[in-house]
Chains A and B, each alone.
Chain A
Amino acid sequence: GAGVSQSPSNKVTEKGKDVELRCDPISGHTALYWYRQSLGQGLEFLIYFQGNSAPDKSGLPSDRFSAERTGGSVSTLTIQRTQQEDSAVYLCASSGGTVTEAFFGQGTRLTVV
C-alpha cells in the first residue's frame, strides 16, 4: 500500500477481553515495529520484526502481550485479558532498511473500560 495502515483506528474494550490490533506495512518492507504511548507518557518500543521473526521483543510489558507477523507482511499485536493500564495509542512502523528509515502508521487508540 501507499503507507502503513493500522486498524482499527479506535478500539474500546471491556477489562478482561482480548484485543487484536492490526498493522499493514508498506509493501516490500521487511522490518516492522510496534510502539505504544500510554496516557501522559512518551512513546516506548514494544517489538521488532525482521521478516516473520522477532529478534527483539524486549519491550513487551508482560506475557499478556504477543505479536506475530505472517508472510512477511501483516502483523497482529494481541493483548490478552486487557487491563486498564493497557489503554494507550499503539503505533506501528515499517522500514525497507533500518529503523531510522521507518514510516509510521497513524496508530490505534485502545481504551480499556
Chain B
Amino acid sequence: AQRVTQPEKLLSVFKGAPVELKCNYSYSGSPELFWYVQYSRQRLQLLLRHISRESIKGFTADLNKGETSFHLKKPFAQEEDSAMYYCALNAGGTSYGKLTFGQGTILTVHP
C-alpha cells in the first residue's frame, strides 16, 4: 500500500527566507506525485505535479526516487504563500481514481 508522510505539521518562516516543505512517500512502483495547496477559506487546488517539472509561484519540487522524496521548495517566501500544503501520490494503474494524501503542513510566512 502507498503512504505519504509530511513530517512537519507547522512551518514558520519570515518573508524572504527560503522554505522547504518535506514529503516522503512509500510505494513500490512508479508514483505520480503532486503538491496541492489550500489557502484560507478556499478549496484545494493543484500547485505542482512532478511530471511537469515546472515552477509555479516560485515553487519547485524534484522527485528523488532514491530517497523516495518530493520536497517542495521556494527560495524566497512571501506572505501570500501562507497556506496548508498537501503532498499527494497516485499509485497509477487501476488506482488512477484516487490520491493518497499526506497529513499536510501549515506554512506561515511572517512579515
The answer to whether A and B interact is no
Residues of A within 8 A of B (CB): none
Residues of B within 8 A of A (CB): none
